[in-house]
Amino acid sequence: QDAAEDIVIAGAGLAGLAVALGLHRKGVRSVVLESSPERRTSGFAFFTWTNAFRALDALGVGDKMRGRHLQLQGLRVMTSSTGEIAREMDLRVNGKLGPHEVRCVQRNVLLQALEEELPPGTVRYSSKIVSIDDQDGAKILHIADGSTLRAKVLIGCDGINSVVAKWLGLAKPSESGRTATRGYAKYPEGHGFEPKILQFVGEGFRAGLVPWSDTDVYWFFTWSPAPSPDANGKDDDAVDRSAAAMKQFVLTKMTGAKVSPEVLEAVERSEMSDVLAAPLRFRSPLSLLFASISKGNVCVAGDALHPTTPDLAQGACTALEDGVVLARCLGDAIVGAGSGEQKERVVAALRRYAGIRRWRSAQVIAVSYAVGFVQESDHSVVSFVRDMLLSGVLAKTLLMMPDYDCGKL
C-alpha cells in the first residue's frame, strides 16, 4: 500500500514554501517534497519588490524580512561605455496601489522564515520525484529512494527543470543566449554604499550592485557569450565557468568598460565559493497563453511555471504571488467542502488559479526579456536609443511590474 497524502507540493523553494504556508494559514495540511538533502542556499539574494512584500504580508512574514534587510531608496543607472549617469530614480515613490518598497533579501533567510512558520515535518528533504503515474484520479509519485507516495493533489514548485511541468506538457524552457554570474562581498567594517541599486548597462553586459545590510553587498553580471574570438583567441562561449575564472572574467569585462572602482572592489572581495554562473533560460510567453498550467488535480507555480530572465528582478516576487493566489484558491475550495464535492471543487480551484496567473506570468517573462535585450546591447543604434530615449521608459517599466496586488489569503 502506497503512503498517501492529500496535498503534495514538489519543491521547497520560495513558491513551494509560500503555497504550504498559505494553506497552513487557512487550516489546510500539505507535505513538501524537496530533492536536496537540506534547505537550498543557492542564489544568495534577490530583489523583493512591493508586490512580493504584499505577498509576504499576506503570509505573515513581511515584517520579519523588513527587520533584517535595508530598504533601498533609489536606482542609479550608469552607461558602461562612458560611466555617465543615464538615469536616477527614487524607489519610494507612490504607485497606483500605494508607496513602493524594495529590499535585497537573502534567499536562505526568507526560506528559513517561511519554513519556521510551518508545522514540524511539513518539509521532507532528500525526496526527489523521478516520475508520476496516474491511478484512479490520484497521482502516484515515484521517489528517487524507491518509495512511492499517493497524492490527491500535486503542486509542482520544482523549478526550471520541473518534472511536474513536463508531465503537464509545458514547453521546455528556451535558452536566452545569455549567461549570468553573481556573488556577494562582505565588509566587516561597513561598505559605505548608499542604500541604492547601482546598475551598469551597455557594452554587451548588464551589471549591478546592491547592499542588503550595512556590511554585505550583492552583485550580478549578465552577458551574451559571443562567438567572435576575444583577445585570447578563445570565444566567450568557451569561458571557464569555475569560480576563480568567472571572477576574473567579470573583472576583465568591467575594467574594459567605465565601471566604478568600488564595484570592481566588491567583485574582487567576493569569496571564491560565492561566485556562480548559469545560462539564463525562460519559457516562451506565447506558449504559456495556451498551455495547461493545471490539469485535473495537478498544477505548477514559481519557476516551474514561469522561468524568466532576471532583468526586472521579478522571478522570486511572482513566485510569492503564485503562492498566495494558489493557497487562496485551493484553501477556499477545500475548507467547508463536503467529501463528495471536494474533488470537483479542487479541479475548479486549480483552473481558477491558472486563469489568474496565466497572463501575469506571460507578461513578466516577455517584458523582462525585452528589457534585458535593450539594456545589455552593445549595438550602436540600440545603445543610442537606449541612452537617449529609453532609459526613462525602462526605469518606469521596472516600477510597473511591482505595482500589483495578489490579494490576501
User: Mind listing the pLDDT tens digit for each residue in 41-64?
Assistant: 666 889 999 999 999 999 999 999
pLDDT score at 20: 98
The total of other beta-carbon atoms located within 10 Å of residue 189's CB is 7
Reported as a pLDDT band with limits 50, 70 and 90, residue 375 is low
User: What are the distances in angstroms from CA 239 to CA 94, 187, 205, 229?
Assistant: 43, 29, 15, 11
Q: What is the mean pLDDT of residues 211-224?
A: 92
At which residue does the C-alpha cell 490539469 appear?
295
**Does residue 235 carry a pLDDT above 50?**
no
Distance, in Å, from the CA atom of 157 to the CA atom of 35, rounded to the nearest integer, reads 11
**Averaging pLDDT over each range in 93-97, 98-102, 120-124, which range is the top one?**
120-124
pLDDT score at 42: 65
Q: Which amino acid is at 314?
A: Q
Q: DSSP letters along 139-150, please?
A: EEEEETTS-EEE
* Residues with Cβ within 8 Å of residue 60, at least 6 apart in sequence: 21, 25, 117
Reported as a pLDDT band with limits 50, 70 and 90, residue 387 is low
pLDDT score at 202: 79
Q: Which amino acid is at 352?
A: R
pLDDT score at 73: 95
**Does residue 221 carry a pLDDT above 70?**
yes
pTM: 0.92
The total of other beta-carbon atoms located within 10 Å of residue 332's CB is 16
Tabulate helix, strand, coil % of the chain (nearest 5).
40, 25, 35
pLDDT score at 230: 46
Q: Which helix (H) or strand (E) holds 164?
A: helix 163-168
Question: Where is pLDDT greater, at 381 or 298?
Answer: 298
Residue 322: phi, psi to the nearest 5? -50, -45
pLDDT score at 119: 98
Reported as a pLDDT band with limits 50, 70 and 90, residue 383 is low
Per-residue pLDDT of 112-169, as tens digits, reads: 999 999 999 999 999 999 999 999 889 999 999 999 999 999 999 999 999 999 999 9
Q: What is the mean pLDDT of residues 309-325?
A: 95
Query: Which of 68-82, 276-290, 390-404 is predicted least confidently?
Result: 390-404
User: How is residue 229 annotated by DSSP?
Assistant: B
At which residue does the C-alpha cell 569561458 appear?
239
**Does residue 321 carry a pLDDT above 70?**
yes
pLDDT score at 376: 59
Q: What is the mean pLDDT of residues 280-301?
A: 95
Query: Which of 202-216, 222-236, 347-361, 388-402 is predicted least confidently?
Result: 222-236
State what percent of residues in the chain have pLDDT above 70: 89
Per the CB < 8 A criterion, the answer to whether 107 and 46 are in contact is: yes
Q: Which amino acid is at 172?
A: K
Distance, in Å, from the CA atom of 84 to the CA atom of 87, rounded to the nearest integer, reads 9
pLDDT score at 394: 64
Q: What is the mean pLDDT of residues 248-269?
A: 91
**Does residue 276 carry a pLDDT above 80?**
no
Query: Which of 2-6, 76-80, 342-346, 379-383 is predicted least confidently?
Result: 379-383
Show the cell assigned to 139.
497521482
Distance of CA 192 to the CA centre of its chain: 28
Pick the CATH number of 4-70+103-174+281-379 from 3.40.640.10, 3.20.20.105, 3.50.50.60, 2.40.50.140: 3.50.50.60
User: What are the distances in angstroms from CA 81 to CA 52, 98, 235, 373?
Assistant: 33, 36, 21, 17
Distance, in Å, from the CA atom of 370 to the CA atom of 368, rounded to the nearest integer, reads 6
**Does residue 233 carry a pLDDT above 50?**
no
Query: Which of 82-86, 174-178, 316-320 is predicted least confidently?
Result: 82-86
